[in-house]
């Protein structure tokens, strides 16, 4: 099992009132699956993804990733675990504007202590894999939205994560680039047994997913 969430709850105190954002969420995802997380605005998708990613601690319940309970890990162990085994792709690309595409990818390796020629070579190979082999020296401002998103994907994947989590990775893209990005993630799941969990509003990408979880008012709904 790649991801197993059990009885996950999240609530916030707003003045005197406790607001329940997630209610008893149970979710399991097998390795190598592409799973979408869909639901109306405000239903709790980003909150759930943040909890599954270890960025936010739930008020109740547990989350196991790759057989390890991240809700019981020390902060230091969790950050190492995230660095070495998870990859993240966000909607706004989060690229460093002053760095080239290749350097933006290398940063992820540098954080793992991989530098120099080895980092440059791995970054170049990953850029080739996302179809940007000739754009390594471009800075983000000289890339299109779809190309920037592919650099962000290359950065998330260059460390060979076992799970990739993405929050609306196709939101800023036209339908052709959106589909290319999805195909890329899909191929990774098939070729490298990577598990992909993605929050999306985009019905155009339903056909590349193995399954879809719907969240409504903080609860999982079967459809």
Ligand X SMILES: Nc1ncnc2c1ncn2[C@@H]1O[C@H](COP(=O)(O)OP(=O)(O)OP(=O)(O)O)[C@@H](O)[C@H]1O
Q: For ligand X, which is the closer residue by CB, 5 or 21? A: 21
Q: Which of 21, 109, 181, 198 binds ligand X (CB under 6 A)?
A: 21
Question: Which position has the token pair 């680039």?
Answer: 177
Q: For ligand X, which is the closer residue by CB, 45 or 135? A: 45
Q: For ligand X, which is the closer residue by CB, 56 or 99? A: 56
* 39 counts as binding ligand X under rule CB under 6 A: yes
Helix 116-129 with 145-157: angle, nearest 10 deg: 130
* 41 counts as binding ligand X under rule CB under 6 A: yes
Cβ atoms of residues 221 and 51 within 8 Å? no
Query: How far from 200 is each of 38, 50, 77, 84, 125, CA to CA, in Å?
Result: 6, 14, 29, 25, 28
Which sign does the torsion angle of CA 66, 71, 74, 79 carry?
positive
CA proximity to 108, closest of 163, 169, 53, 157: 157
Shortest distance, position 10 Cβ to ligand X, whole Å: 8
Give the integer Cα–Cα distance in Å for 88 and 85.
10
* 140 counts as binding ligand X under rule CB under 6 A: no
Q: Which of 2, 3, 44, 173 binds ligand X (CB under 6 A)?
A: 44
DSSP string, 81-144: HHHHHEEEE-TT----TTS-HHHHHHHHHHTTT--HHHHHHHHHHHHHHTT-TT-TT--GGGS-
Selected range binding ligand X among 41-49, 79-87, 129-137, 188-196, rule: CB under 6 A: 41-49
Bridge partners, 65 (sequence order) = 3, 68
Q: Which of 12, 94, 142, 160 binds ligand X (CB under 6 A)?
A: 12
* 47 counts as binding ligand X under rule CB under 6 A: yes
Shortest distance, position 182 Cβ to ligand X, whole Å: 18
Shortest distance, position 166 Cβ to ligand X, whole Å: 13
* 96 counts as binding ligand X under rule CB under 6 A: no
Q: Which of 6, 20, 24, 46 binds ligand X (CB under 6 A)?
A: 46
Q: For ligand X, which is the closer residue by CB, 41 or 74? A: 41
Selected range binding ligand X among 24-32, 45-53, 138-146, 153-161, rule: CB under 6 A: 45-53
Residues in contact with ligand X by the rule CB under 6 A:
12, 21, 39, 41-47
């Amino acid at each position: 099992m790649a991801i197993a969430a059990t009885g996950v709850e999240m609530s916030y105190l707003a003045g005197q009132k406790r607001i329940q954002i997630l209610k008893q969420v149970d979710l399991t995802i097998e390795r190598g699956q592409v799973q979408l997380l869909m639901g109306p605005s405000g239903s709790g998708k980003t909150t759930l993804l943040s909890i599954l990613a270890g960025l936010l601690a739930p008020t109740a319940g547990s989350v196991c990733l790759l057989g390890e309970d991240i809700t019981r890990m020390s902060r230091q162990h969790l950050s190492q675990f995230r660095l070495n085994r998870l990859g993240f792709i966000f909607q706004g690309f989060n690229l460093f504007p002053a760095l080239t595409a290749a350097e933006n990818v290398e940063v992820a390796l540098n954080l793992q202590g991989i530098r120099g020629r080895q980092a440059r070579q791995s970054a170049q190979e990953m850029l080739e894999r996302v179809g940007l082999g000739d754009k390594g020296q471009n800075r983000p401002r000289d890339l299109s939205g779809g190309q920037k998103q592919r650099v962000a994907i290359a950065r998330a994947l260059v460390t060979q994560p076992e799970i990739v989590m993405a929050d609306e990775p196709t939101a800023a893209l036209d339908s052709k680039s959106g589909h290319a990005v999805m195909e890329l993630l899909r191929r990774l799941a098939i070729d490298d047994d990577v598990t992909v969990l993605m929050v999306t509003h985009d019905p155009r990408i339903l056909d590349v997913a193995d399954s879809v979880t719907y969240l409504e008012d903080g609860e999982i709904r079967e459809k």
